[in-house]
Structure 1
Amino acid sequence: MNLNQLKYFLAIVKTGSFSNAADDMYISQSSMSKQIKALETELGVDLFKREHSKVYLTEIGAEFAKYAEMTIKQHNDMLLYLDEFATKKSNTIRFGSIPVVSSYGISAQIAQFTTNYKPDVNVVIDMHETNQQEVMKELFDGAIDIALIRTDYLDEVDVFDCIPYKKDIFVLVCNQNHPLSTKEAVSLNDLIKYPLSLLDTSSVIYTIVMKAFERHGIEKKTKCLTTRHKILMEILQTAPNISLLPLSLVDLTLFPHLCTVPLVEELTSDVALIKLKKRRLNKITKDFWIYWQKYFQMQ
């Protein structure tokens, strides 16, 4: 038995299927099945009942899940505890974010924290940006301790501590020569005949926009998807396409051939810092979290 097998087991418990769990853990379904079969063989019990495409915990499987959760938690707590005895690690803040750090002024606040922290402590920020699905996976796996994400479709909100950062308002983004560029405001119906470019399907922004069209009874298909909003805006500068993006992400100084137009329908997205309530943090990460709490209280 190993920790990966326990993580795979708990992923199946959470998602209710081998295929969804395999997707979440970034392994093939066949590999997932082999690992669970090996675990069941070693334990000498069946952990799941398999019925068609669904899987259910057996009675012993439900009991085993409690111990598996405790084991993973204790393992993560142990690593964090040992971090306190490693100088470099104990001074490290492990921070993950969706790709908005520069657009939202996060970098400046991090720089201020590191500059004003105790002069005898060398603060190390282990920070990187990726899509929200990967950020959440790293948070649950213990690879990061604090995350900046969009909370609009966040599951299991009761397991997180949350510091609201901002409410983003969506706008139409298009080329200055686009027919919609001169309007004071546009409705979703105004956008029907124009090709739509968006961030890719793993993005919460994609979900927000497509669900908005769906709520208004509009069947809208995308013509271009990309993982980064700056790439998207580069495309819009020379293409007839349009996009819907949070206003905070649109930098017209970098993309002078673009313009923004307000939407008639209110479309918003909430951005927040989160951490797991049960995650033990090293001292400097606790101080970093408190710094952000105080910062937002003053806004």
Structure 2
Amino acid sequence: MTLKQIKYFEAVCETRNISKAADSLFISRSVVSRALKELENEFGVELFNRTHLGLELTEDGKLLQNMFYEFSSVYASIQERIRQRNSNSESRLLTIGITQTCGRRLYPRLFIEFNKNYPEVQFNTIELSAYESHDQVTTGSIDFFFTPETFRTGSKFSMMGELPLYSSQTVFCTARGTRLAKHSTVTPREITKLPMAMLAARPPIEWPLNIVLRTSQHVLIKRAILSGLANAILPMDMIDDWDGVIGVPFEPPLTFTNRLIWNKAIPHSPAFNDFLEFMQNYNLTDL
């Protein structure tokens, strides 16, 4: 597999026609055809089916297309980072992804603590879903992301590095004075028919729920709970300072671990290494 083969394959995916792909690349049709055949022989699969609308990717071809997309993005990121290193323009900017649920505890206090030791490092912080963050750290668009989601980072073939940070639990959130607010624990059966507010992300549980509000705004969920219009299922550390809102643990408990995730397969800046070392030694119970 070569970069040229990938380039030719992507051109055929875009045009759905070998001749048009060859014209767009200013090469002969036979060169493109040979490159596709070499890829098919290397992977032992057919990449395209012929239809009346043109070439159509097979299921194996779609897998290869996704793999090449990630590879090309990572390759471009590596080129840029090497260019920065060789031009002595090492970046002191870190781009970090946070999720709706873990950002409240970490931002901005953690970054302020880091800047006490490294005042020259600047942060570009973006709120993303866990899966958007995973895609962007894969391509090198962001340096790190914080997430409670579990990814397959333990495999020796994984590109991802992982640092467990702290454990917490997801709780049932209701207004003080409600019947369930007095309980020491709740079960799924007790809440399935209650009106629920949810963050506009993947639900933290798979139970059937009566969702009456879905929003990305924490303040709307808090207001809905306090007004008695809805309840919620949220991380305990997210509602610690929500006066009037009670977090009731589930039985059995819904525990999770927040993690720091990064891409091990691409070169990183000194600022990246400084932040990773800081996180490895920082006591997050101080937050």
Bin the TM-score by the shorter chain. Answer: 0.7 to 0.9
Matching of residue 49 in structure 1 with residue 48 in structure 2: yes
Matches of 2:244 and 2:282 in 1, distance apart? 35
Matching of residue 257 in structure 1 with residue 253 in structure 2: no
Contact 1:94 1:145 in 2 (8 A): yes
SS at match of 2:247: strand
Of 14, 36, 52, 1:35 maps to: 14
SS at match of 1:290: helix
The residue that corresponds to 1:28 in the other structure is none
Taking the TM superposition and a 5 Å limit, the aligned residue runs for 1:187-202 are 187-200=187-200, 202=201
Matches of 2:163 and 2:12 in 1, distance apart? 38
SS at match of 1:167: strand
For 1:259, the aligned partner's letter is I
Shift of 1:100: 4.5
**1:57–1:223: structure 2 CA closer, same or farther, 3 Å change rule?**
same
The residue that corresponds to 2:125 in the other structure is 127
Matches of 1:279 and 1:67 in 2, distance apart? 16
For 2:14, the aligned partner's letter is Q
The residue that corresponds to 1:236 in the other structure is 225
- TM-score (norm. length: structure 2): 0.73
Shift of 1:130: 2.3
The residue that corresponds to 2:254 in the other structure is 267
- TM-score (norm. length: structure 1): 0.70
The residue that corresponds to 1:151 in the other structure is 149
Taking the TM superposition and a 5 Å limit, the aligned residue runs for 1:109-128 are 109-117=110-118, 122-128=120-126
Shift of 1:90: 1.4
Matching of residue 292 in structure 1 with residue 279 in structure 2: yes
SS at match of 2:180: helix
Identity of aligned residues (%): 15
Shift of 1:273: 0.4
Point out where structure 2 has 5 or more consecutive residues left out of the alignment.
23-31, 38-45
The number of aligned residues is: 254
Matches of 1:269 and 1:251 in 2, distance apart? 17
**1:184–1:71: structure 2 CA closer, same or farther, 3 Å change rule?**
closer
Shift of 1:298: 9.6
**1:66–1:148: structure 2 CA closer, same or farther, 3 Å change rule?**
closer
**1:260–1:67: structure 2 CA closer, same or farther, 3 Å change rule?**
closer
Contact 2:160 2:263 in 1 (8 A): yes
SS at match of 2:112: helix
Contact 2:99 2:147 in 1 (8 A): yes
**RMSD after superposition:** 3.8
Contact 1:175 1:240 in 2 (8 A): no
Point out where structure 1 has 5 or more consecutive residues left out of the alignment.
11-31, 214-218
Shift of 1:57: 3.1
SS at match of 1:178: coil
Matches of 1:292 and 1:171 in 2, distance apart? 27
